[in-house]
């Protein structure tokens, strides 16, 4: 932020002080924190919203999480790391971190916005990203990295130990070739969401038949999730799968 950036108004002083206490960081430029906590509904001339910081924070979070996964799991292939990353940086994980920090209560919102409870997760996730960017600009990447890994650490551990770390694409390919006489293909069904946080939807297709659909923040993550959905769909079907094939599905899916 430039030196001419607006300082938080006196009426905001208590809110900014409480935010600094919650984040565990005293800002050299309190205007950065004020901007990070200002929703578009409360923005105006000389009072920018947190959307630009949200854009930067999204990239900083992905960098920090990708670095952590790369260092912690040197033997994992790119596909597995991609699936794990998608889980850790998801809107759900960021919103949960924001909830633990109490960020939504600290946001500067326009009239009527706070009553819209259904927006709480979106508001929180966006605020978390903006705060990460503010920390990065105020104190540097090491401070932002420590904050991200501290507050997304549970999500990282869960992703590392969950079934999401399995390579479902490889499993589906092997199963399709062994038991269904064909290869698994992935049909893109389009994308949605803002440009800096797209959501991709993909269908898994085997022998011309669509078995599973799924969405994720990356195309590869969506393909992994669609492959898992396809395997579950195959196991749930009442068809005449050979006992060996059904046993293989049970072993894959637990």
- pLDDT score at 118: 55
| Superfamily the domain 10-163 falls into | Ribonuclease III domain (1.10.1520.10)
Short-list 159, 142, 152, 171, CA closest to 85: 159
* Catalytic entry in 62, 129, 138, 228: 129
Enumerate the known binding-site residues: 54, 126, 129
- pLDDT score at 4: 44
Residues 6+ apart with CB under 8 A from 81: 66, 69, 70, 73
Is 154 a catalytic site residue? no
* Catalytic entry in 58, 62, 138, 228: 58
Is 14 a catalytic site residue? no
- pLDDT score at 197: 74
Q: Enter the pTM of the model.
A: 0.64
Quickly name the fold that domain 166-253 has: Double Stranded RNA Binding Domain (3.30.160)
- Domain-by-domain residue ranges, the chain? 10-163, 166-253
- pLDDT score at 31: 95
- pLDDT score at 113: 75
Enumerate the known binding-site residues for Mg(2+): 54, 126, 129
Q: Note down pLDDT in tens along the chain; length 254 residues.
A: 444 444 444 358 899 999 999 999 999 999 999 999 999 999 999 899 999 999 999 999 999 999 999 998 887 778 778 878 888 998 888 999 999 999 999 999 888 776 664 566 689 999 999 999 999 999 999 999 999 999 998 888 877 766 444 678 888 888 888 888 788 999 999 998 877 778 899 999 998 889 889 988 788 888 988 998 999 888 888 676 777 777 878 777 76
């Amino acid at each position: 932020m430039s030196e001419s950036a607006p300082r938080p108004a006196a009426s905001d002083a208590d809110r900014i002080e409480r935010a600094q206490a919650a984040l565990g960081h005293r800002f050299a430029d309190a205007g950065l924190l004020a901007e990070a906590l200002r929703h578009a509904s409360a923005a105006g001339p000389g009072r920018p919203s947190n959307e630009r910081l949200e854009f930067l924070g999204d990239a900083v979070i992905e960098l920090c999480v990708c670095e952590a996964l790369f260092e912690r799991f040197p033997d994992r292939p790119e596909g597995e790391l991609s699936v794990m990353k998608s889980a850790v940086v998801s809107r759900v994980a960021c919103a949960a971190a924001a909830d633990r920090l109490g960020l939504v209560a600290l946001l500067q919102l326009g009239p009527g916005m706070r009553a819209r409870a259904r927006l709480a997760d979106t508001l929180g996730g966006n605020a978390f990203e903006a705060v990460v960017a503010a920390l990065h600009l105020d104190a540097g990447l090491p401070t932002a990295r420590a904050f991200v890994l501290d507050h997304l650490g549970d999500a990282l551990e869960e992703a590392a130990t969950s079934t999401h770390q399995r390579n479902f694409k490889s499993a589906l390919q092997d199963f399709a070739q062994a038991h269904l006489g064909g290869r698994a293909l992935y049909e893109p069904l389009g994308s949605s969401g803002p440009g800096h946080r797209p959501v991709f939807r993909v269908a898994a297709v085997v022998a011309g038949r669509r078995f599973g659909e799924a969405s994720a923040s990356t195309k590869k993550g969506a393909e992994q999730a669609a492959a898992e959905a396809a395997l579950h769909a195959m196991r749930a079907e009442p068809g005449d799968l050979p006992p060996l094939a059904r046993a293989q599905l049970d072993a894959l899916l637990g």
